[in-house]
Amino acid sequence: MISPEKIWSSDQLPTLPAVAVKLLDLSKNPDTDIKEVIDTIKADPAITAKILKASNSSFFGLRSECKGIERAVPLLGTMVVTSLALSFSLSESAITQGPLKSRFDSYWKQSIIQSAAAELLAAKSGNDLKYDSFLLGLLQDIGHLAMLRSIPTDLLSVLEQAETEQRESVEVESAELGINHAEVGVKMMERWQLSEQFQTAIQHHHDSVAQLKSLESHPDFNLITIIATSAAIGDYFCSVNSGLALQKLQDLTSEFYNMPHDDLHGFLEQVQVRFEEAAQIFAVNMDDIESPFEIMAKANEQLVQMTMKAQVDTTQAFARQAVIEEQKNKLESENKQLQSKAIHDPLTKTYNRSYFNENFEKELYSCSRDAQPIGIIFSDIDRFKNLNDTYGHQFGDLVLQRVAKVASESTRRSDVFCRYGGEEFVIMVNNPTENGIRDLAERLRKLIENEVIEFEGARVPVTASLGAVVGIPPRDLTGFAERLVAEADEAMYESKENGRNQVHIRSIVSKNEQELHKLIKRCRFSRWLVTKEVFDIPTISKALLKCSKQQKQSRIGELAIAEKMLSENDVSKILELQELKGLRFGEIAIQQNFLTQEQTAYLLALQIEPPIVLGKTLISLELLESTQAAELIKQYLAEMKPCSIAADAHRNQLANS
C-alpha cells in the first residue's frame, strides 16, 4: 500500500501549458469568439505549427489545404483544436528515456489507439460525442501516466504482477497499492477543472458489463460505454493479456453495440487504419502493433488456456471436461481460420507477401545449406491502371482473381505462389534450372494471355510481363535475398520496357556452380533409378515428396571419410580454411585439390538425397521389396562412386604432373 499523497505531492505529475489551459476554458463557453481561440493558439508557435500540420493530414481529410491557422480553426472547430493542443502537450509528458521508456511508449501508443477507437464508436452512436470521445479516449489513462511519473517503482511491480497472473491492472493496483489509475485519473481531471462528464467516464472505464448496465439511466451513459469499450480495445492491441481483453471486448460490443463476434474483426481493422492515421499526427511509430488477425490468434490461444485452467480448477467431472474440449476445439478452429487469414490475400485467396517473405527466408537457408538453386518469378499485369480506369475497380478485382487462379493451378506443389502487392505476383520456384524457370514463366505468360475475361459480353485482352532469376545462395547469405529480388524485379521491368507480354530470365549462378549442380543431379539415386528404367519420372517424383526430412543432415566431411575419399586430418584442414574464407566445404576441397569436382558432386548427392531414405520410402509405398531396394542401392553406389584415389595419392599425382 502507498499513501496517495506520495502521488499528489510529486513534482513529476504531468502539467498543461498555459495555451492548453486557456483553450480548455474557452471550449466550455458556447459563446466563445473563434478569433479568441485563434489568438490563443498563435501565442504558442510550436502548438500552432503542429495543429496546422495535423489539419492537413489524412486523419481529417479536409478537401483543401490549410495554409494558416486562421483557416484551420474554423474548419476543425474549437473542440478539435483544443483536443489537439492538449494531445500535443500530453505527448511530451509521455516522452522519456531510461528503464521505463518502453512503459511510457506503450502508454502513449495505447492512448492513441483508444482515442481512435472512441471516435469510431461515437460515430456508431450518432457522431454527437465524436470529438469529446476522441479527447477523452486520449485522456482516460492519464492516471496511469501520473503514476508512472510519480511512483514508477511501485507501479512497475504491480504491472508485471498483473501480466503474470492475467488480471486487469486496475484490479491489482487497488489490491497492492490501495489506489488505481482510474481514481488517479479522476483526480487529475478535477485538478485541470475538466467537466464532470469527463470525470464520470474515466471513473467507470474499467467497469464490468454488469456494472455498466447498472448505469443505463445515467445521462452520460453513451459516453461511459464508449470509453469503457475503447479501453478494452486499447488493452486488446497493447496488453500481453490479449485473451482477457478479447473476452471483455466481445462482451462489451455484443451488449452495447449489437456487434456479432464475426463483425468485431472488421471493426478492429477500421480501428487500426484510424489509429495509424492518428499516429502520423503525433509522429509515433506503430510498426510494433500487430494486426487484429495476429492478435486474435494469440488471444484465442490464451483463452484456450484460461478456459481449461478455470474449468479444471473447479471440477474434474467428465461432463465438464467434455465442455472444455468442445470450447478448446472451437477456439482452435477459429484460431486456424485467423492464422489462415493472416497469411492469405483476402481478394485472390492466394498467399500474401508476409507469407512469401517468411518462406523465402527459410528456403534461402535450406538452399544455402544444401547448395541448391532457388528461383523467383515476378509477374505484373500489363496496363492494369488502364483496366481499372476503363472498366472499373470491380473488373480490376476480377482480373486479379482470374490471373491468380490461372497461375496457382499451373504451379507445382513444391513452388510457392503469392500476391506480392497491387497487380504484382511472385512465385518462389523450388530447385529450378534456367531452362525450367523459363518454361514455367513462358507457360504462365501464355495462360494469362489466353484466359478469356469478359466485360459486358465482350472479351478484354489481359497480358502480363514476367521476369525471373535463378541463383544458388552462398554460405554467407548477407545481401543475397535483396539481390535475388532486385534481379527478378529488373528482369520483369525489362519485359515491360521491351513491349510487355514478355518473359526475361536472369541467372546469377556461376559457371562452376552450374557444372557442379549438373553433376549433382546426375549422381542422385532418384535420377539413377529413372535412367535404369526402374521407375518413371512421375512415380519417383511422388516418392521424393513422401521422403521424410532427416532430423540431422550428414556433413559432407563425415561422408567423405566414410567413403574413404578424405582422412580426418584432411577434413580438419578444410574446416580451418572454411572458417578463414567463408566458403563452402566442397568449394575449398576442390580449390585445394582435396577432392575432384566429380567426387564432390557424388558426396553432395548422398547428402541431399540419402539412398537409404529414398529406399525406405519406396518400400513403405509398396513400390519395392526390401531385398530389391538393398540390391538397387548397392548397385547404385558401385556404379556412381567416382574413382576413389586416396586423397594423399591424388595430391601427389597432381604435384608430379
Quote the pLDDT of residue 400: 95
Query: For the chain, what is the mean pLDDT?
Result: 84
Is there a contact between 366 and 414 (Cβ–Cβ < 8 Å)?
no
pLDDT, tens digit, for every residue of 466-508?
999 999 998 888 899 999 999 999 999 999 999 999 999 999 9
Going from the C-alpha of 111 to that of each of 152, 615, 639, the distances in angstroms are: 18, 61, 72
Phi, psi of 56 (to 5 degrees): -95, 10
pLDDT, tens digit, for every residue of 217-230?
999 999 999 999 99
Q: What is the pLDDT averaged over residues 323-349? A: 75
- HSE (CB half, 13 Å, CA atoms) of 574? 26
51, 31, 30: which is closest to 40 by C-alpha? 51
pLDDT, tens digit, for every residue of 448-470?
999 999 999 999 999 999 999 99
Quote the pLDDT of residue 226: 92
pLDDT, tens digit, for every residue of 359-380?
999 999 888 887 789 999 999 9
Q: Which of 173, 276, 363, 423 is catalytic?
A: 423
Tracing cell 595419392 back to the chain, one arrives at 649
Give the cell for residue 40: 490563443
Sign of CA dihedral 339, 353, 437, 518: negative
Out of 331-335, 451-455, 629-633, pick the least confident: 331-335
Quote the pLDDT of residue 28: 72
Residue 310's pLDDT band, with cuts at 50, 70 and 90, is low
Q: How far apart are the first and last CA of the chain?
A: 89
What is the rounded CA–CA span in Å between residue 211 and residue 204? Answer: 9
Per the annotation, the verdict on 358 as an active-site residue is no
Q: What is the pLDDT averaged over residues 390-410? A: 93
Going from the C-alpha of 225 to that of each of 136, 138, 204, 230, 251, the distances in angstroms are: 12, 15, 9, 8, 12
Residues paired with 471 in a beta bridge: 374
What is the rounded CA–CA span in Å between residue 375 and residue 377? Answer: 7
Is there a contact between 304 and 328 (Cβ–Cβ < 8 Å)?
yes
Residues 6 or more apart whose CB falls under 8 angstroms from that of 588 comprise 574, 577, 578, 581, 594
What does the buried/exposed string (b/e) look like for 142-178 if buried means 16 or more CB atoms within 10 Å of the residue's CB?
bbbbbbbbbbbebbeebbeebeeeeebbbebbbebbe
pLDDT, tens digit, for every residue of 110-150?
888 998 888 888 888 776 677 678 888 888 888 888 888 88
Quote the pLDDT of residue 446: 95
Quote the pLDDT of residue 38: 86
Higher pLDDT, 627 or 86: 627
Higher pLDDT, 74 or 306: 74
Quote the pLDDT of residue 654: 43
Sign of CA dihedral 130, 131, 134, 135: negative
Give the cell for residue 423: 497487380
Q: What is the pLDDT averaged over residues 514-531? A: 89
Is there a contact between 422 and 370 (Cβ–Cβ < 8 Å)?
no
pLDDT, tens digit, for every residue of 410-453?
888 889 999 998 899 999 998 898 899 999 999 999 999 999 99
Report the percent of the chain where pLDDT is more than 70.
Answer: 88
Q: At residue 25, does pLDDT exceed 60? A: yes
Quote the pLDDT of residue 321: 63
Q: Given phi > 0 = left and psi -120 to 50 = alpha, else beta, which region is 626?
A: alpha
H-helix or E-strand containing 345? Answer: none
Q: At residue 195, does pLDDT exceed 50? A: yes
Q: What is the pLDDT averaged over residues 512-536? A: 89
DSSP secondary structure letters along 154-206 = HHHHHHHHHHHHT--HHHHHHHHHS--HHHHHHHHHHHTT--HHHHHHHHTTT
Quote the pLDDT of residue 351: 92
Residue 646's pLDDT band, with cuts at 50, 70 and 90, is very low
Q: What is the pLDDT averaged over residues 102-110? A: 84
Quote the pLDDT of residue 169: 86
153, 179, 175, 335: which is closest to 242 by C-alpha? 335
Give the cell for residue 640: 556412381
Phi, psi of 418 (to 5 degrees): -140, 155
Out of 239-243, 286-290, 432-436, pick the least confident: 239-243
540, 594, 593: which is closest to 567 by C-alpha? 594
